[in-house]
Amino acid sequence: MGILYDDDVVIIRQSEKEGDPSVITVNCPDKTGLGCDLCRIILFFGLSIVRGDVSTDGKWCYLVFWVAGKSTTRWGLLKKRLVEACPSCSSASGLSYYRAESQPPRPPDVFLLTLSCHDRKGLLHDVTSVLCELELTIKKVKVSTTPDGSVIDLFFITDTRELLHTNKRKEDTCDHLKAVMGNTMLSCEIEMVGPEITACSAECSFLPAAITENILPLEIPDELPSSLTSTSVSVNMDNSLSPGHTLVQIVCQDHKGLLYDIMRTLKDYNIQISYGRFSTNRGRACDIDLFLTQTDGKKIVDPSKQKALSSRLEMELVRPLRVATVSRGPDTELLVANPVELSGKGRPLVFHDITLSLKMLHTCIFSAEIRRRMIGDREFEVYRVLLDEGEGLAVPRSKIEEQVWKMLMGWKQ
């Protein structure tokens, strides 16, 4: 097959005409969940996949994504991150799609960013935007407003570039924050902490049981507000059209991260996509055809397994995230939750979109927290945002829920 270099593993052809999609081609050895990892990176860079083709023989794969980009897309950095997610070409010999990594990757170093500043509207979103631009991932956040109007923000972060242990990277981060915050910033400190600091202990009662049951159901409730769900989703399985594969046909409404939601679900179920095609039409309806096999390379013939996979796919497409507002004493609290991959990775840019929505609503944030919680046998990333509803600042709860939901789904406001 010859030697493939980085320039050949990932090829990006940017659109020449405004409105046309750019094309990302990936040609490399396969690995468990590669499609999910690539879709997650594309989502992190703020791109929408409007069409996709995937094929693999279990050892080598070829993927093509047509993506809608923006003028600020950092294409060179995107290519670098996609290449890093691909297995090296030397690993193709004897590679099994389902074989786990011989050595799991070392957990990234965790750093505490302590930011002290004067409060103002949109402050938290501006800080979050800077961290995203610098490829700093927020693992946990604690935001508090003091009686004198100052804000103390504690961000537990990891660095995609793995350079935050250096003084230069720390200074560069603080400089970027200073450039955005101006004179409102009082201090900025970054120090390394142990990963156990960010973990929530098993005894942690972070969410009341009543709230957990209402916004984090493991099954689709009989009644859901139409404004907080996707439209109808159809998932059909057929074993008669292919001698060696189960065909799964999905029809649903498009949303931001749709292909990622499908890929992460299949990754968690250890299902291989031998061939897949994804497309959207002008009405934003999506048609997805996937030819799948199990870990043993055979069709999915067990009715219970078919039902479990169909139900999970439907759940993840109807409610890829959960959004709700609840009373916290006399105040209003916004709750957002999304399922975490079995690999431990969470959905990117959720906190960014939450804070952007509230900034657009001119709604101030009094405090915010991000933690992970086990619900049943699944882990969720839960965002709790306590809103400042001072005089003249109150916004109807239904409007808050709807705007946050639409922002997270990538729908027009």
Those residues with Cβ within 8 angstroms of residue 232's Cβ, 6 or more apart along the chain or in another chain: 252
For residue 228, the 8-state DSSP code is: G
Same domain assignment for residues 118 and 56 = no
Residues 291 and 335 in one domain: no
Tell me the pLDDT band of 100, cut-offs 50, 70 and 90. Answer: very low
Share of the chain above pLDDT 90, in %: 59
Confirm whether 216 is domain-assigned: no
Chosen domain end from 318, 343, 364: 318
Cα 131 to its chain centre, rounded Å, is 15
pLDDT tens digits for range 245-286 = 999 999 999 999 999 999 999 999 999 999 999 998 766 789
Residue 253 located in a structural domain: yes
Which ranges of 147-302 would DSSP assign to H, the alpha helix? 167-181, 209-215, 258-268
Strand 185-193: give its sheet, edge to edge: 185-193, 110-118, 150-159, 136-145, 364-375, 378-388, 331-339, 322-328
Q: Side chain identity at 286, as an amino acid letter?
A: C
Give the domain range for residue 21. Answer: 1-91
Residue 100 lies in a domain: no
In this predicted structure, what is the pLDDT of residue 32?
82
**Residue 196, pLDDT above cutoff 80:** no
Would you say residue 3 lies in a domain?
Answer: yes
241 in the same domain as 157: no
- Please tell me whether residues 302 and 342 are part of one structural domain: no
User: Within this chain, do residues 230 and 359 fall inside the same structural domain, yes or no?
Assistant: no
Residues 8, 32 share a domain:
yes
Q: What's the token pair of residue 84?
A: 């890093």
Give the pTM: 0.87
Give the domain CATH number at 66: 3.30.70.260
- Report pLDDT digits (tens) over 143-195: 887 778 788 999 999 999 999 999 999 999 999 999 999 999 999 999 999 75
Tell me, yes or no, whether 352 and 380 share the same domain: yes
Is the pLDDT assigned to residue 96 strictly greater than 60? no
> For the segment 4-29, what is each residue's pLDDT rounded down to a tens digit?
555 689 999 999 888 899 999 999 99
Q: How many domains is the chain partitioned into structurally?
A: 3
d(Cα 143, Cα 77) in Å, to the nearest integer?
30
Among the listed ranges 94-98, 320-324, 356-360, which one has the minimum average pLDDT value? 94-98
User: Does 284 lie in the same domain as 142?
Assistant: no
pLDDT at site 263: 96
Provide CB contacts within 8 A for 75, sequence distance 6+: 12, 14, 22, 69
Whether residue 182 sits in one domain with residue 117: yes
CA–CA distance, 390 with 233 (Å, rounded to integer) = 40
